[in-house]
Structure 1
Amino acid sequence: MSEWTLDIQDMSWVEHTAEEVDFVIEALELRGSERVLDLACGFGRHTLELARRGYAVVGVDITAEYIDHGHARASEEGLSAEFICMDVLDVTFREEFDVVLNMADGAIGYFSTEEENLKLFDVIADALKVGGKHVMGVCSAGHAIKHFPKRHWEAGSRSLSLADFHWNADTARMIYKGRVLKFGEVLEPFSNEFPDDGDAGIRLYTLEELDGILQQRGLAIMAAYGAYDTAVSASDDQLMLVVCSQKVGICA
């Protein structure tokens, strides 16, 4: 994957953070007293927003610049948010959280091997208390199979983003490339093509695959959506796949 920096704050989708947190609270029927783990939290946009609403939140990310930013913002605002700089695969919480989040992919499918990608689901299940709930927001393999390759533009208040998607059926991975055009900056000429940078891509899953993976770890799917919106049902015609599940324990 490409190196991540705080420039990501200018991406158009960052502007939807409050609405995404609204969705989490509604979909999981949270009361405000839950302890939340935000895996691959990035610069802490969901962690901080939940903390502003009174939740005790722990954000974990491998990028030190992001964690430093989260620490600073939490300190400035006096929020109950803890930030830990760590590879999410090294997280060892055991039944400590009421909610675990993997928002905006949350590193799901980002690793080079199937074993590593599945280990992240172990981390999720281990961190949840029995009865605890999980939300993941990922891109849908069903959509990729049906609709890739494709491109689309997304406009925000600070930038315009071009996303380019391809599908590797042999590896079940999405190859994503993009450009961000920030408003107010001089635009240099660029090619219509994206150079091949050797990125292996992100492992995507169908809803059926995720159901099996979660069941093996004692989680049962509560609902699946095609956006961070309870009115939008999951469908192969939706790029987003948002899955809410609950830890029920593994049957002997």
Structure 2
Amino acid sequence: MDIMNGSYAQTHFPCKLWDAGEKGLTLSAFEWEEDRKTLIYGQVDYMYGEALYKPEMKEGNPIRLYSLDEITEIFCKLGLRICNSFADFSGKPSSDNDIQLMVYSIRE
């Protein structure tokens, strides 16, 4: 299972990021609703050569994120045991400072 790590979001969001693309810039905003453990994401695209304007973020659907502890609890109730968790496909062990959480589990 590959998910976005809720523990990462809790410590690193809210934040705004700029991304330079081939045709323009994208401003992405990540907000974190602690009480609902939900990520709110929005973005605005600016094409090169156009005047910049005050961004109006268009929100997407809220996304519920889970920490490794929450996933462990949920899997246990389903009869699954987490054998290991990774931060990426290289096999790096996961931590709260990694945005990606990959979980390997087996049925007990």
TM-score, normalized by the shorter chain, greater than 0.5: yes
Q: How many correspondences in the alignment?
A: 108
Other structure's SS at 2:72 match = helix
* CA deviation map 1:96-149 (0-9, x unaligned): xxxxxxxxxxxxxxxxxxxxxxxxxxxxxxxxxxxxxxxx22221111111111
Other structure's SS at 1:212 match = helix
Quick check: which one's strand share is greater?
2
The counterpart of 2:35, out of the listed 170, 180, 190, is 170
Aligned to 1:242: 102
- TM-score, L = length of structure 2: 0.76
Structure 1 residues 201 and 191 mapped into 2: Cα distance closer, same or farther (>3 Å)? farther
Q: What is the Cα deviation at residue 159 of structure 1?
A: 7.5
* CA deviation map 1:149-177 (0-9, x unaligned): 11234567788654321100121100111
CA RMSD for the aligned pairs? 2.9
Q: Is the 8 A contact 2:13 2:30 kept in 1?
A: yes
Quick check: which one's helix share is greater?
1
Aligned to 1:204: 65
Distance 1:173 1:147 in 2: 13
- TM-score, L = length of structure 1: 0.36
Structure 1 residues 192 and 186 mapped into 2: Cα distance closer, same or farther (>3 Å)? same
Aligned to 2:57: 195
Structure 1 residues 247 and 190 mapped into 2: Cα distance closer, same or farther (>3 Å)? farther
Question: Which protein, 1 or 2, shows the higher relative CO under an 8 Å CA cutoff with sep ≥ 6?
Answer: 2
Aligned to 2:17: 152
Q: What is the Cα deviation at residue 206 of structure 1?
A: 0.7
1:213 matched to 2:78 = no
**Structure 1 unpaired stretches of 5+:** 1-135
Other structure's SS at 2:17 match = strand
Distance 2:12 2:51 in 1: 29
Structure 1 residues 212 and 229 mapped into 2: Cα distance closer, same or farther (>3 Å)? same
